[in-house]
Chains A and B, each alone.
Chain A
Amino acid sequence: LSVHALAGLALLNLLFLWSGATIVWALRGLASWVELARLAGLSYLAGVASVGTIWVLLLVVGVSYSYATVLVVPLVVSVIAIVGGRRYGRRAPAFLGSIGGGPGLFVAAVAVTTAGVVLQAAFRGARLEGLYSWDAWAFWVPKGKAIYFFGELDQHFFTALPGSSYPPLVPVLDAAAFHVMGSPDVVTLHVQYWLFGVGFTWALAGLLSTRAPAWILWPFVLLALMAPRIGLRLDVPEADLLLDYFFVIAAVLVCFWILDRQRWQLAVATVLLCGMVLTKREGLLLAAVLVVATLLAAGRDLRAVWRPLAVMVAVVGAVAVPWRIWYVVHGVGGEGPSTSGLDPSENVGRLWSSIRLAVEVLVDGEYWSLAPTLALGAILVAALARATVLVVFFGALVVLVTLGGGWITWAIPELEITPEFGANPIVRFMGAATLICIAAAPLLLASAWSATTDLRAEGPR
């Protein structure tokens, strides 16, 4: 634990931010510096996903993972993005831009301050936190140490540890942090995960701030930080929350793409989904859920959306395959359930118990505070206001993720029907549904609010 370690982490995360910002700039263009700042969280997560994905692919094909790899890959990504952006005629932000005014500005200022104080408090914990989380010390961090020390996916080590088929993005990010810190400092490593949490918070607020008024948006952002299972675990060096961050921000972008049809939205979502499928096994399930929800929400526009969606699926699938080949070649058991996992008649009683468990976990305030309950209310309000696309998209996501959680428990007979962490991963998995609720609620309520204010503007008929 030293200034050197913290400075190294700062460098690494600036590289993530820089490479992601060049990607967002190349794909979207950034007109003003305020816009650049608003999308800085999105850029950061895009940087983590893109650079991390390339690191994983390089490791899988046998390229040595060294300090040079850690530094060169983000720089190469940014050079490619800058060259591509220039070809598309992108220009540097030309003016400062505006952050608006009026009461909304003050609501946002107070909320940013509150979020900042909460995150500062979390930082103080992250700065001194020992490696006590079970999965973190049992295999995530040891795998990161192995990559750091050996520079490769050591066959014996990776196949012997628990969770040997889990994708290696998180260990690769840990190893990158160890390189820039100068040692496998498992205490300061918690700061890296705190930074992922800050990036997600910024990405969510930045993306939604142009679609929802500050007084609707910020209570939900703060709710995310206050939810015990999220806010108290921001710094835990495990894959669960990072997986959820990628999923939720990608889902928000895909939602905007359904509404706006701007290609950059789907392109950046694809980058995030590539990171997601290399973060945890559940990433594949969540990617499938997102595709189904998109097809349902697209409705009559199915013909227009299926081709871009197919390209997204192809890219994400292509990124997911090499790791799966690696572990199959090295004799590691697969990541699917031990039963067929597809025939509901196999064990109907267990199926219902599993789904009920997933629903109970989703609405349990001890894990997620009020977030899912409020979001379900927001879905109802938005349905009354006929915000059909948003209601179908987010409603389908919440339902499908919940069913997915139930399916995991049902399809793996070794899992007990219990929310106990050691016996069933359902609480970890349902974080994705909760964060989707938190992202969806401001959009749903804002659309209902704008519908009612539009009606008022029209006056009595």
Chain B
Amino acid sequence: VRRELLAATAIVVVPLLAYPLLSVSGGAPRFPTRDECVVVATGDAPDLDVVYGRFEDLAAAEDLLAEVTRVGFVGAEIEIDACGRWKVFYDGIPSYVQGDELARQVREAGFEAQVEVGG
């Protein structure tokens, strides 16, 4: 009986320990960081945006939107991104070259801007 019990215990314990150990042998599971919500464009791609900034606080995003609109960059909008931050951006950029040019003008006006792949 004792031998049977030991064998049955081994049948249960060995796989139940081995399976999770094998599962995590390649590293523990991780969450994506907030930086991974930002995909900087390097060429033409569907859904390109020029992003002026990201904020934890909606009021700060609204301040930036008012600023860039005041100096002439009209048509920007605010949206919450996949990481829960408020994004001020210009949507509907048809090509990377055009987006890069807009971003350059915005930066020359004293703001931050980069072309990103939307999501």
A residues at B contact (CB < 8 Å)? 1, 99, 101-102, 105-106, 108-110, 112-113, 116-117, 120, 124, 127-128
CA–CA, A25 to B40, complex, Å? 62
Chain A residues within an 8 Å CB radius of B1: 101
CB contacts under 8 Å to A, within B1-34, are: 1, 4-5, 7-9, 11-12, 15-16, 19-20, 23, 29, 31
- The reply to whether A128 and B11 form a contact with Cβ atoms under 8 Å apart is no
- A and B contact pairs by CB, cutoff 8 A, 15 listed: A102-B4, A105-B4, A105-B8, A106-B7, A109-B7, A109-B11, A110-B11, A117-B16, A120-B16, A120-B19, A120-B20, A120-B23, A124-B23, A127-B29, A128-B29
- The reply to whether B8 and A109 form a contact with Cβ atoms under 8 Å apart is yes
- The reply to whether B12 and A128 form a contact with Cβ atoms under 8 Å apart is no
- The reply to whether B5 and A113 form a contact with Cβ atoms under 8 Å apart is no
Given contacts A112-B12, A120-B16, whether A128 and B5 have CB atoms under 8 Å apart is no
Chain A residues within an 8 Å CB radius of B19: 117, 120
Chain B residues within an 8 Å CB radius of A113: 11-12, 15-16
Q: Which residue of A lies closest to B23 (CB)?
A: A124
Given contacts A116-B15, A124-B29, A128-B31, whether A101 and B23 have CB atoms under 8 Å apart is no
B82 to chain A, nearest CB (A): 11
Chain A residues within an 8 Å CB radius of B11: 106, 109-110, 113
A110 to chain B, nearest CB (A): 6
- The reply to whether A116 and B12 form a contact with Cβ atoms under 8 Å apart is yes
For the residues of B in contact with A, the DSSP-based class is helix
Chain A residues within an 8 Å CB radius of B23: 120, 124
Number of A-B contacts (CB under 8 A): 41
The 6 closest A-B pairs by CB, nearest first: A109-B8, A109-B11, A116-B16, A101-B4, A113-B15, A105-B8
Q: Which residue of A lies closest to B11 (CB)?
A: A109
B23 to chain A, nearest CB (A): 7
Q: Which residue of B lies closest to A112 (CB)?
A: B12
B80 to chain A, nearest CB (A): 15
Given contacts A127-B29, A128-B29, whether A109 and B12 have CB atoms under 8 Å apart is yes
Chain B residues within an 8 Å CB radius of A109: 7-9, 11-12
CA–CA, A311 to B6, complex, Å? 46
B91 to chain A, nearest CB (A): 25
B107 to chain A, nearest CB (A): 35
Q: Which one of A1, A105, A127 has the greatest number of beta carbons of chain B within 10 Å?
A: A105
Given contacts A106-B11, A116-B16, A117-B16, 5 further A-B contacts (CB under 8 A): A99-B5, A106-B4, A116-B15, A117-B19, A120-B23
Chain B residues within an 8 Å CB radius of A112: 12
Q: Which residue of B lies closest to A119 (CB)?
A: B16
CA–CA, A127 to B20, complex, Å? 13
- The reply to whether B5 and A117 form a contact with Cβ atoms under 8 Å apart is no
Q: Which residue of A lies closest to B31 (CB)?
A: A1
CA–CA, A364 to B31, complex, Å? 36
Q: Which residue of B lies closest to A117 (CB)?
A: B19
- The reply to whether A106 and B8 form a contact with Cβ atoms under 8 Å apart is yes
Chain A residues within an 8 Å CB radius of B9: 109
B54 to chain A, nearest CB (A): 20
CA–CA, A102 to B29, complex, Å? 40
CA–CA, A124 to B21, complex, Å? 12
A329 to chain B, nearest CB (A): 37
Q: Which one of A106, A109, A110, A112 has the greatest number of beta carbons of chain B within 10 Å?
A: A109
Chain A residues within an 8 Å CB radius of B5: 99, 101, 105
CA–CA, A110 to B12, complex, Å? 7
CB contacts under 8 Å to A, within B59-114, are: none
- The reply to whether B15 and A117 form a contact with Cβ atoms under 8 Å apart is yes
Q: Which one of B8, B11, B19 has the greatest number of beta carbons of chain A within 10 Å?
A: B8
CA–CA, A308 to B73, complex, Å? 77
CA–CA, A109 to B8, complex, Å? 6
